[in-house]
A and B are shown apart, each in its own frame.
Chain A
Amino acid sequence: MAQILKKAGTSPAEAIPPQPSYRRPWWSATAAAVLTLVLGGSVLGVQLESTGITTTVRLMGMETWGWLLAAALAVFLHQLIRPQVEDWRARTRKPSRFTLPKIFSGQKRQLWIMLAIGALLIFPFMSNRSAVDLATLTLIYIMLGLGLNVVVGLAGLLDLGYVGFYAVGAYTYALLNSYLGFSFWEALPLAGLMTALFGYLLGFPVLRLRGDYLAIVTLGFGEIIRILLNNWTELTGGPNGIARIPKPTFFDLEFTRKAQEGNVPFHEYFGIAYDPSYKIIYLYLLALILVLITLFVIYRLLRMPIGRAWEALREDDIACRSLGMNPTGIKLSAFTIGASFAGFAGAFFAARQGFISPESFTFIESAIILAIVVLGGMGSQLGVILAAIAMTLLPELAREFNEYRMLLFGLMMVLMMVWRPQGLVPLKRPHMELDRG
């Protein structure tokens, strides 16, 4: 009895694509409309409320129910005409595919990249403090997105606990600084190494497992890291976090108004007036440089055998093995490299915040980074950058959006997978195709 449901071989889900059937449009349209009413009415149409110490139920007003009825009607009509629409679309379908504007490819590419970097370098001097700070935050997310992209987009391993590595990076810097007095520059490479080590140690056992298990184990790992940081009060300060993490220095020059003993602050050394925005600008420039390095490293890796191997493995595990590649080793390398980028981003985040606590490293953060990678088109660097910008700027531009942010992220992940799994800006690489005409 134990094996009643045991499945064998490849996933049957992969084996059969679903088949559409529209034999009875009236019936299915009515069913869909009723379903919509049940789904919406049961939770949107009535609401639990507390009045004093009792829980009561409030029937929502005509407005809500009106909308629900309208939604049901819309679903009904949609279902009714769907066969015709799909039929029409199938007949008139053109092989149209969104491609990037020519700007991003071709001969002028390098020129454009140079111009973009130049503009980014000048940006902080032309802008105000809070815009620069926001840009720094965006850059941190770009770094995280790029790192996770290596794991999810390129190697095809779903990592739901990426925030765990981010936390390890942040705490590495914070702890090294508060206990041993390490500076940002001394701690940064160590943070990268430390997270790479964590990635290696975690990846080593779990990468032999299939994708779904990996997702859950990494999710559990992210939670364990957070719980440990929260519980180990003697070392990490527990929920109180670690405060007063110093900002990076410029060749040992500090950006504070008054430097610590035996040190000269940046502005005195250069004989200019103190301006608090120097610090913000410096942080931004550092983040920019880190992102550029990350971009370059991944760009090079992709063109090396290892990068090719990641993608090959993502496409077909078994074919890779039969070609003599070692899947675990290749996966491990992607996992470790991806983790180390989170470590750098984490150390940087700690420096920007000046204060970290386990609260900043919850699962939601992992979900946001994953959403960035998914929206950007798994595998595409440019896509990740654009997605990260959109994700951090949207809540700032429209505060109301903040309330609906996670709802839309979730919806977007589903819709992207259904309609455009290759993302908004899919990865394009030099390749040849056989002409099958």
Chain B
Amino acid sequence: MMRRSLLVLGIAAAISTQAQADITIAMAGPVTGPVAQYGDMQFTGAEMAIERINAAGGVNGEMLKGVKYDDACDPKQAVAVANQIVNDGVQYVVGHLCSSATQPASDIYAEEGVMMITAASTSPTITEQGYELVFRTIGLDSLQGPVAGRYIANTIQPKHMAIIHDKQQYGEGIATGVRETVKEAGIDVVLFEGITAGDKDFSALISKLKKENVDFVYYGGYHPELGLLLRQSRELGFDAPFMGPEGVGNPDISKIAGQASEGLYVTLPPAFENDPKNADLVEAFKAKQQDPSGPFVMPAYTAVELIADGIKGADSTDPEDVAEYLKANSFDTPIGKVEYDEKGDLKDFSFVVYNWHADGTKSEAAQ
């Protein structure tokens, strides 16, 4: 009985303070741990958005407040963080970063009526759960795969193609997408195989590629393994071109593979920081000596902006109203025009095929 009345008091207090206080946005992602550098990109973008929205007078007269939560990209800590966020009475979350952390956290948010926009998790399963309050501002793995697959089928038209992945959620997801697309186009995939992330020696696999007369290789995964794969391929006399997703589009790949990275095909989101529309925003980042070119900076910025727009548009701070508004309207954001489908995925998120160069630069590939 005692507890019940305390609870009621607590809720009453929470509601009454919330009416005057700021709107808190939780920024959940890795502050520590091995991928903290990607977390920083997300925080940079989100913080910039909060700052700029507040400078322009806030949302319906209320100020936004960003609070960082550290999940270290660990599924177990992500659940703890999600519970913490719910506990703190926060209703809007920008995050999490790694798909394996986003997934268990989204279960909790969905149940407790918290709205979550992830700016980095690309796994399709996250939005497949049918949650009303889960959104993202980044393209899915399943979108990127077909883009690459169509480019391969239409422009490259290999005769014997191989698809390799690193057996992780991201890499295998995209590789599967590519396989389905090229199969529909009637291209012969002679090899679909996984490697171990962190492995260093791929000579056995490369010899196999050589023997199967593979003339094009798609790799789903990140740059360290593809870098080595490229480097060893050229040493072992295997010269077929390679293609990879955005996870390999990082100057480090040229560092590892050297000359072998010349001519690599990479699918990347368009470089938002080069869009003239965003010149003003890019200046703001530069003024704070921050780098706007990280892949998650602009999506995180957009996530905060969408929350603000949603609250304004729905004229309510209830996440369900905001979600409804977001799904019903389209928005003009730094990552282009945003429209949502029923699942909370972007209807259109374009990827562009680039040619990578050995000096770490890229240029748009010929169609």
Judged by CB atoms under 8 Å, the answer to whether A and B touch is yes
Complex contact B173–A240 (CB within 8 A):
yes
Question: Which residues of B are found within 8 Å of A52, using beta-carbon distances?
Answer: 251, 359-360
Q: Does A403 contact B (CB under 8 A)?
A: yes
A residues 45-61 with Cβ under 8 Å of B? 50, 52-55
Bound-state CA distance A400–B32 (Å) is 8
Which residue of B74, B87, B103, B359 is within 8 Å of A53 (Cβ)?
B359
Complex contact B254–A399 (CB within 8 A):
no
Nearest residue (CB) in A for B72 is A402
Question: Which residues of A are found within 8 Å of B104, using beta-carbon distances?
Answer: 353-355
Complex contact A133–B79 (CB within 8 A):
yes
Complex contact A355–B103 (CB within 8 A):
yes
Interface CB pairs A-B, < 8 A, 27: A50-B252, A52-B251, A53-B251, A53-B360, A55-B255, A125-B3, A130-B83, A130-B84, A130-B88, A134-B80, A231-B167, A238-B167, A239-B168, A239-B169, A239-B172, A240-B169, A241-B169, A243-B103, A256-B111, A276-B111, A352-B79, A354-B107, A357-B103, A360-B74, A360-B76, A396-B80, A402-B70
Nearest residue (CB) in A for B252 is A50
Which 8 A-B residue pairs are closest in the complex by CB-CB distance? A355-B104, A130-B84, A133-B83, A130-B87, A53-B360, A239-B169, A129-B87, A402-B32
A→B interface (CB under 8 Å): 50, 52-55, 125-126, 128-130, 133-134, 137, 227, 230-231, 233, 238-241, 243-244, 256-257, 275-276, 280, 349, 352-357, 359-360, 396, 399-400, 402-403
Residues 89-110 of chain B: 1 if any A CB is under 8 Å from the residue's CB, otherwise 0? 0000000000010011001100
Which residue of A125, A240, A402 is within 8 Å of B33 (Cβ)?
A402
Complex contact B83–A129 (CB within 8 A):
yes
Question: Which residues of A are found within 8 Å of B100, using beta-carbon distances?
Answer: 241, 355, 357, 359
Question: Which residues of A are found within 8 Å of B180, using beta-carbon distances?
Answer: none
Q: Does B112 contact A (CB under 8 A)?
A: yes
Question: Which residues of A are found within 8 Å of B251, using beta-carbon distances?
Answer: 50, 52-53
Most buried by B among A130, A231, A256: A130
Complex contact A357–B169 (CB within 8 A):
yes
CB distance from B70 to the nearest CB of A (A): 6
B residues 306-324 with Cβ under 8 Å of A? none
Question: Which residues of B are found within 8 Å of A55, using beta-carbon distances?
Answer: 255
Which residue of B72, B80, B107, B194 is within 8 Å of A137 (Cβ)?
B80
Nearest residue (CB) in A for B253 is A53
Complex contact A230–B86 (CB within 8 A):
no
B residues 108-139 with Cβ under 8 Å of A? 108, 111-112, 123, 125, 129
Bound-state CA distance A240–B141 (Å) is 12
Nearest residue (CB) in B for A405 is B32
Q: Does B75 contact A (CB under 8 A)?
A: yes
CB distance from B169 to the nearest CB of A (A): 4
Nearest residue (CB) in A for B68 is A399
Given contact pairs A53-B358, A133-B84, A349-B76, enumerate 18 new A-B contacts (beta carbons under 8 Å). A53-B359, A130-B88, A231-B167, A231-B194, A238-B172, A240-B172, A241-B103, A243-B107, A243-B125, A244-B107, A256-B111, A275-B7, A353-B76, A353-B79, A356-B75, A357-B75, A359-B100, A396-B80
Complex contact B31–A130 (CB within 8 A):
no
B residues 330-367 with Cβ under 8 Å of A? 358-360
CB distance from B331 to the nearest CB of A (A): 29
Question: Which residues of A are found within 8 Å of B112, using beta-carbon distances?
Answer: 276
CB distance from B256 to the nearest CB of A (A): 9
Bound-state CA distance A240–B103 (Å) is 10
Which residue of A129, A130, A240 is within 8 Å of B125 (Cβ)?
A240
A355/B107 contact (C-beta < 8 A), A53-B251, A240-B173, A280-B83 known = yes
B residues 2-33 with Cβ under 8 Å of A? 3, 7, 31-33
Complex contact B79–A399 (CB within 8 A):
no
A239/B167 contact (C-beta < 8 A), A276-B86, A359-B100 known = yes
Bound-state CA distance A52–B111 (Å) is 45
Nearest residue (CB) in A for B254 is A53
Question: Which residues of A are found within 8 Å of B79, using beta-carbon distances?
Answer: 133, 352-354
Question: Which residues of B are found within 8 Å of A241, using beta-carbon distances?
Answer: 100, 103, 169
Question: Which residues of B are found within 8 Å of A129, using beta-carbon distances?
Answer: 83, 86-87
Bound-state CA distance A257–B32 (Å) is 34
Question: Which residues of B are found within 8 Å of A50, using beta-carbon distances?
Answer: 251-252, 255
Which residue of B129, B194, B360 is within 8 Å of A243 (Cβ)?
B129
Most buried by A among B74, B100, B125: B100
Question: Which residues of B are found within 8 Å of A231, using beta-carbon distances?
Answer: 167, 194
CB distance from A406 to the nearest CB of B (A): 11
Bound-state CA distance A233–B167 (Å) is 9
Question: Which residues of A are found within 8 Å of B194, using beta-carbon distances?
Answer: 231
Question: Which residues of A are found within 8 Å of B252, using beta-carbon distances?
Answer: 50
Bound-state CA distance A207–B353 (Å) is 55
Bound-state CA distance A91–B320 (Å) is 75
CB distance from A191 to the nearest CB of B (A): 18
Question: Which residues of A are found within 8 Å of B173, using beta-carbon distances?
Answer: 240
Complex contact B111–A257 (CB within 8 A):
yes
Bound-state CA distance A174–B129 (Å) is 16
